[in-house]
Structure 1
């Protein structure tokens, strides 16, 4: 499953529902308490009589005692809001059953049995979008992590694998398309009650857990294609959407075929069913879901054309399509034993989709984008109250652990394995993992053991990455004596909730030592730090070299070093590792801003640092060897969030003030070069090749600086770019800059954009986001007004995120000194929680950062969290997030 992705930007009401009764404190579930389920369910048959307001579900479970578990005379089936209409055991009505906290408990004698249970559900009333729910006249499901128990009583846990046969019937006019997992085995028409009914039967031959079950029924059309696997099998491909959306599905289909081919070539994984279906749904909590053979996607990650989608949207679709397809093996064929092992499938699959995107889009820029996301979301998570290891030890609500730590840090941990053992040995390890655990519910330990056995390495100490939370800090010291350079590395892992004391990690750091005179190095090396401190010696340096370290971001750590401005400028100009060059530029700017915020710079020192930064950026703008995609990355200032992370306690207003002052100074100082770069890039084509995409990126970056340094000039150029735009990337980039200005063009272009795209939900989401994320001084008032806009609704997660998540990620407005931003988000959480608890809970983490904010704002943030915690009827999802943030 793909969590809803937060796109990187160059710069960084309420419909109430009746509150449910207050939940009791959910039990703490511990990894160490795991025991196998006492019953196996080798076969599951499901029958659905479909309706928008009433759907009848008949579940037939073939069960037998599990020899790997202690015997039990009771079968406990998870349920959430269900009432059994009838219960049968072996064809007879059963009387010996009871309800226990929502679960159905049936007394069973030893031996195999057939259990049949009938339930009825109301998809139209399911605003939580978990289980079976209605979306614009269609029915669809979302079962990960614990949504299946809202459909039928079942042992809803990932280690219970079963083969599924699904029969659906319903009115043909409402549901002309009936889809489920696996292959369609039969279909037909029936007539009853005066309406035309039809049915379809699907069978999935591969055992799977209930969280991978999927059903879709609705009035859909499809783009069809086919793929021939490496063994010569023909697979029918289809992407199902509403008729008006069909023209915008070609990129998604091409992305799917590329993914299938790449996975065969790089990991040796072949698809294993006759069909592969994707369905696009407008109401969806996540980005997409990897249900076996029937992936259900948020429309955001399927629909695209140049008029409505940016270059980033195209990349996002390609990456998410790949992610869900790759889950066919890393998640479906080999699944998780329990939810503590979530990173087993998600971390591994994120790495696979990152590698795929690097091959499709270019390694250098993709790596920088991935690291930027890690630092903006996961690093703060690792240093806050919600920090947890990539394999947690306990949880109360599993939906709260679909985090950047599980996904993105999990990917980095497996990437480190690959770095240490090499690509060829890594492939041997993954081959062994798939071979050894195909058809099983595995653990993170199973994965690491397969890597050890396949690659012939010892990962004993490395396992600490799975059990210890926190971002390691590596202190770097380079000295020089005679002809020897000595590199001393010291590591600390900061305390995190429940883990005050940490053991040393294994940290692989790629490095190079540059000769200052020639600008060259003698080759990249790998230094592996295993203890608290290690010194490495490098001979043959007559003068002290310039150190390039953590090249390619080989380890997800924070590097702390005393690098001179001269060394950073040198690396920004000469480093042949693209990420390290980017990192030098970031380090140069962050170091300067941190000193400024701390009040430790004289005016002369500030001017000297500004001149160094300006010179480095001028070199980037004018370097003829750089392609524009990389140039655009090097021109991006570090985000306010990342700068604040470098401070023990940050004053968001002060950080914003100094960052904007530097940006404005650079805009004025480099005005001629920026205008020339914008004019040059404006002559590029509107195509999708790398050169055209890069040109669009630098055009927007030029506007960011020009608008900061000379607002009138920036407004004029941005308005002209908007008017002449042939792609959404150019139009959105221009509107983003205009949204932060106060001139008349802002209003004119916002009205034009809305009128041009009204009726297109995904583009109107952009319209909301651009205003909520803007640098305009009245952003809070704008967001309040937008919350009352006729197109805004709390019932659609995309629309909620487009406005409020963009606002919560906007430090300028969210951290307003008045505290109004905090109150707005708290109000949102309280209004949204009864409607959609999963989405509401995701707004808590920005509030939970109060300990890292100056006391005035911190007290307001804490008070708002306490207000939320005291609300009646709070969901388990939000309650856990809030209480952990306050502890």
Structure 2
């Protein structure tokens, strides 16, 4: 057995970036698709840009069979170039020349689902970040931008639809039942945006008329018989196009825009120019087979990929360390789009829930990195929630810093200044700075410093001067790479309430006008802010609308949090106060549990929740306030160690006490909302169902109280309510009943892949003691397929997120997941590396669990030919 050392795994560093010695201005590709292999002919028009006349041409290429190579139409002998496992090197090339190659590749054997691969009879591509080099030899870097012409040749019966980027310029019938289609993309693009799809596909179409009066043809492709399931996605695309024109003045620059649904896809979607490829779970939808959240996700992901047309394609990244330039900005844009499409503050709540449960954990672990990382071994490991979602929060902070008009002016200057270019995060911030004549050098620390800033706040009230002061200290935990951090520029939105819950109008020192909320610009380690016109000590509403991705440390008492829950005008902070109080109660329960004290939930909290439940306010907001933080989010705040079993028990006790205390209120609300009206995906109906099903779940926690959930499972007129009922019925302690209901649902849903993914996930998330045994059995279920990433994430990913069961003190969960990582890594490293992240925070647990996890990490690391993706995660975990 041979272990690859750290030295064998070469890291790439941001500081080492240099401009390419060569550029490619034009690319002519030809693909001859066949069942056993594909022949790829590439003709590259190359120009030397290096000042060094002796610079060699170094092209990237992986797992390619080079059949011949021509320079200026002259075939080269093997002694004229050098081939390695990852490069093709040619010395003594002219200043400007054409290079033509013929390579053989094997898409049908490509289980890693990168480059060109075959999924259930469909050829498709995934080239980001550096997987175009699995297709042909090329300068596989985003700052090399070229115009592509692509010809695809294939059997006309098996592959009647042949798609690529740009405009179709010719279609030809060939001998032997073959045909060819040629596509020409008029825009320069990096090779990661190249796309090809070939198969026997159906499609639906629509038209979007732009504000300037142009008609753009929209096409959605899918497997035979499934195109109608793309209808909602196509309508989402139309809404996204109209929104981008209205909000950002960005029109689509193409005459035709295509989207394609693929069943086997590692990513969520890919923004290839004019030919977006999607994981089918983010395209397929109909009322009989999809959850409300599926519709919301489809709308958001379709919009995200379309928005990339400007923030990612027209303006792309100079290098992959700039990934957040396109992803952070585009996530921010899709979040704002979803908010405007009817989700409102509930979108903000959902985003912050995810940030706190996943991104804050990443920030606190050994893989912590700034939104612009400094180095990587495998770039695919840095498509992270930090780069994406924290990156979006960094963009969002520019709005309160610059003002909405200033933010808009900066964005427009960015588009104007950098259209058609590959640029950096600094270029983006420079545009924001220049448009507003403001120094943003301190703000740039958000791009370069890792970890989550903490804001510690103390307050004081002076009755004689009618002033209220906040003393603020900001600090950021040390990390291995950055033991000392500089102060960030943090926009902190604050409001003040009196003890009856009325919002106070005050004047912030240094300003002239009264307001119920103020934006504090925290820029120093220690800073004081004074509010005038305060006659009694108020309750501060801190970090309204989550104005910055930070942790607030302020000692609220129970009554203050209840006041905020009931009365804060900032809806986000109403929800946030409910989370803070629920977290405090759960942590107090853990303390009492460990001291063998009697357990209880404060009556004042339960009374407040009853009032909220009866308030008839926003249904979605009430549903969110009823649910305590997830175990993952709570675990992030546990100190000094995470106690999975105790945390699970305390949270379950908390929810059961809620159910028992509020049973009458929950039943009344459920019955009021259970109208069984026809299914609709408008926001009001979605949130009505959300509250109804939240009540149902709580009621199912009460022993022997499954009647409502069983009835809803039987009578529901939509799949959303059926699945909610199934989840509720599985709270039953009767194993036979649970098994029967699961089998009934499988028999009903087995022909729909997305529903069966949900069916697997529900079981992997169950709280019963036999959870791991059930998951192990499901591995052998005929519907489980290791080669389908969605199925892997549904079962293994869901089990990993089942905190108490994965971290069972026996260590069996660790061994199971390690076994899966080792097995999956051999054919598809992408999901394997995601699962390996589950072990990153292993030192946050007690010594028994630490020893068990370390054993599994060492076992994974000892595997010969471990992928770079998994190696980097595991080695980083062990080195922390």
Which TM class, normalised by the smaller chain length?
over 0.9
The 1-side partners of 2:402 and 2:4 are apart by 53
Deviates more, 1:58-67 or 1:71-80: 71-80
The 1-side partners of 2:878 and 2:330 are apart by 33
Is 1:803 aligned to residue 785 of structure 2? Answer: no
- Out of 590, 604, 616, the position equivalent to 2:608 is 616
- Out of 659, 682, 685, the position equivalent to 1:689 is 682
The 2-side partners of 1:270 and 1:366 are apart by 25
The 1-side partners of 2:458 and 2:578 are apart by 19
Deviates more, 1:822-831 or 1:108-117: 108-117
Is 1:83 aligned to residue 65 of structure 2? Answer: yes
Partner residue in 2 for 1:8: none
Partner residue in 2 for 1:15: none
Find the residue that maps to 1:883 and give its secondary structure.
Answer: helix
Is 1:496 aligned to residue 479 of structure 2? Answer: yes
Partner residue in 1 for 2:9: 26
Partner residue in 2 for 1:297: 278
Is 1:110 aligned to residue 94 of structure 2? Answer: yes
The 1-side partners of 2:847 and 2:693 are apart by 36
Deviation at 1:197, TM superposition (A): 0.6
The 2-side partners of 1:201 and 1:741 are apart by 59
Q: Write the mapping of 1:529-540 to structure 2, written as runs, cut at 5 A.
A: 529-540=522-533
8 Å Cα contact 2:676/2:716 also seen in 1: no
The 1-side partners of 2:427 and 2:443 are apart by 14
Is 1:544 aligned to residue 555 of structure 2? Answer: no
Deviation at 1:413, TM superposition (A): 0.3
> Residues 90 and 403 of structure 1: is their aligned pair in 2 closer, same or farther, counting only changes over 3 Å?
same
The 2-side partners of 1:573 and 1:698 are apart by 18
Partner residue in 2 for 1:229: 210
Partner residue in 2 for 1:558: 551
The aligned length equals 862
Is 1:578 aligned to residue 571 of structure 2? Answer: yes
The 2-side partners of 1:252 and 1:462 are apart by 37
Partner residue in 1 for 2:388: 407
- Out of 249, 257, 271, the position equivalent to 1:268 is 249
The 1-side partners of 2:644 and 2:501 are apart by 42
Partner residue in 1 for 2:496: 513
Deviates more, 1:238-247 or 1:577-586: 238-247
Partner residue in 1 for 2:450: 469
Is 1:153 aligned to residue 137 of structure 2? Answer: yes
Deviation at 1:23, TM superposition (A): 10
The 2-side partners of 1:280 and 1:436 are apart by 35
- Unaligned ranges ≥5, structure 2: 506-515
8 Å Cα contact 2:130/2:192 also seen in 1: yes
Deviation at 1:518, TM superposition (A): 5.8
Deviation at 1:464, TM superposition (A): 0.5
> Residues 214 and 122 of structure 1: is their aligned pair in 2 closer, same or farther, counting only changes over 3 Å?
same
The 1-side partners of 2:869 and 2:341 are apart by 37
Partner residue in 2 for 1:754: 746
> Residues 527 and 805 of structure 1: is their aligned pair in 2 closer, same or farther, counting only changes over 3 Å?
same
> Residues 518 and 441 of structure 1: is their aligned pair in 2 closer, same or farther, counting only changes over 3 Å?
closer
8 Å Cα contact 1:29/1:395 also seen in 2: yes
Deviation at 1:706, TM superposition (A): 1.7
> Residues 480 and 20 of structure 1: is their aligned pair in 2 closer, same or farther, counting only changes over 3 Å?
closer
Is 1:741 aligned to residue 732 of structure 2? Answer: yes
- Unaligned ranges ≥5, structure 1: 1-18
The 2-side partners of 1:681 and 1:767 are apart by 25
8 Å Cα contact 1:167/1:199 also seen in 2: yes
- Out of 627, 644, 649, the position equivalent to 2:618 is 627
Deviation at 1:52, TM superposition (A): 3.0
> Residues 549 and 22 of structure 1: is their aligned pair in 2 closer, same or farther, counting only changes over 3 Å?
closer
8 Å Cα contact 2:202/2:226 also seen in 1: no
Find the residue that maps to 2:8 and give its secondary structure.
Answer: coil
Deviation at 1:777, TM superposition (A): 2.2
Find the residue that maps to 1:712 and give its secondary structure.
Answer: coil
The 2-side partners of 1:553 and 1:154 are apart by 44
Is 1:99 aligned to residue 83 of structure 2? Answer: yes
CA RMSD, Structure 1 to Structure 2 (Å): 1.8
- Out of 657, 671, 680, the position equivalent to 2:663 is 671
Deviation at 1:71, TM superposition (A): 4.3
Deviation at 1:248, TM superposition (A): 1.3
Deviations 1:759-802 (A, max 9, x none): 21111111100100122221111101100001111111011111
Deviation at 1:249, TM superposition (A): 1.3
The 2-side partners of 1:616 and 1:606 are apart by 19
Q: Write the mapping of 1:820-839 to structure 2, written as runs, cut at 5 A.
A: 820-839=812-831
- Out of 461, 465, 469, the position equivalent to 1:486 is 469
Is 1:871 aligned to residue 863 of structure 2? Answer: yes
> Residues 807 and 526 of structure 1: is their aligned pair in 2 closer, same or farther, counting only changes over 3 Å?
same
The 2-side partners of 1:711 and 1:182 are apart by 60
Deviations 1:20-69 (A, max 9, x none): 999972211110110011011000000011113210000000001116x6
8 Å Cα contact 2:107/2:118 also seen in 1: yes
Deviation at 1:239, TM superposition (A): 0.3
8 Å Cα contact 2:21/2:55 also seen in 1: no
Partner residue in 1 for 2:413: 432
Partner residue in 1 for 2:637: 646
8 Å Cα contact 1:52/1:139 also seen in 2: no
> Residues 234 and 660 of structure 1: is their aligned pair in 2 closer, same or farther, counting only changes over 3 Å?
same
Q: Write the mapping of 1:753-832 to structure 2, written as runs, cut at 5 A.
A: 753-832=745-824
The 1-side partners of 2:594 and 2:527 are apart by 33
The 2-side partners of 1:741 and 1:342 are apart by 46
Comparing both chains, which one has the higher relative contact order based on Cα–Cα distances under 8 Å and sequence gaps of 6 or more?
1
Deviations 1:173-206 (A, max 9, x none): 1110000001111111111xxx311110001111
Deviation at 1:840, TM superposition (A): 0.6
TM-score, length-scaled by structure 1:
0.95
Find the residue that maps to 2:622 and give its secondary structure.
Answer: helix
Deviations 1:610-660 (A, max 9, x none): 212212211111112x12111111111111111111123111111111111
The 1-side partners of 2:767 and 2:832 are apart by 25
Is 1:700 aligned to residue 693 of structure 2? Answer: yes
> Residues 740 and 871 of structure 1: is their aligned pair in 2 closer, same or farther, counting only changes over 3 Å?
farther
> Residues 73 and 535 of structure 1: is their aligned pair in 2 closer, same or farther, counting only changes over 3 Å?
closer
Find the residue that maps to 1:698 and give its secondary structure.
Answer: helix
- Out of 1, 24, 38, the position equivalent to 1:55 is 38
> Residues 103 and 499 of structure 1: is their aligned pair in 2 closer, same or farther, counting only changes over 3 Å?
same
Deviation at 1:604, TM superposition (A): 9.2
Deviations 1:447-486 (A, max 9, x none): 0000111233221111100000000111111211111111
Partner residue in 1 for 2:508: none
Find the residue that maps to 1:528 and give its secondary structure.
Answer: strand
Deviation at 1:232, TM superposition (A): 1.7
8 Å Cα contact 1:333/1:440 also seen in 2: yes
Partner residue in 2 for 1:184: 168
8 Å Cα contact 1:719/1:745 also seen in 2: no
> Residues 210 and 137 of structure 1: is their aligned pair in 2 closer, same or farther, counting only changes over 3 Å?
same
8 Å Cα contact 2:300/2:335 also seen in 1: yes
The 1-side partners of 2:590 and 2:380 are apart by 37
Is 1:376 aligned to residue 357 of structure 2? Answer: yes
The 2-side partners of 1:479 and 1:379 are apart by 30
Deviates more, 1:610-619 or 1:79-88: 610-619
Find the residue that maps to 1:462 and give its secondary structure.
Answer: coil
Find the residue that maps to 1:416 and give its secondary structure.
Answer: helix
Is 1:392 aligned to residue 385 of structure 2? Answer: no
> Residues 121 and 610 of structure 1: is their aligned pair in 2 closer, same or farther, counting only changes over 3 Å?
same
8 Å Cα contact 2:829/2:870 also seen in 1: yes
Deviates more, 1:258-267 or 1:518-527: 518-527
The 1-side partners of 2:553 and 2:3 are apart by 49
Deviates more, 1:777-786 or 1:515-524: 515-524
Deviations 1:256-293 (A, max 9, x none): 00000000110111111111000100000000000000
8 Å Cα contact 2:107/2:116 also seen in 1: yes
The 2-side partners of 1:510 and 1:634 are apart by 21
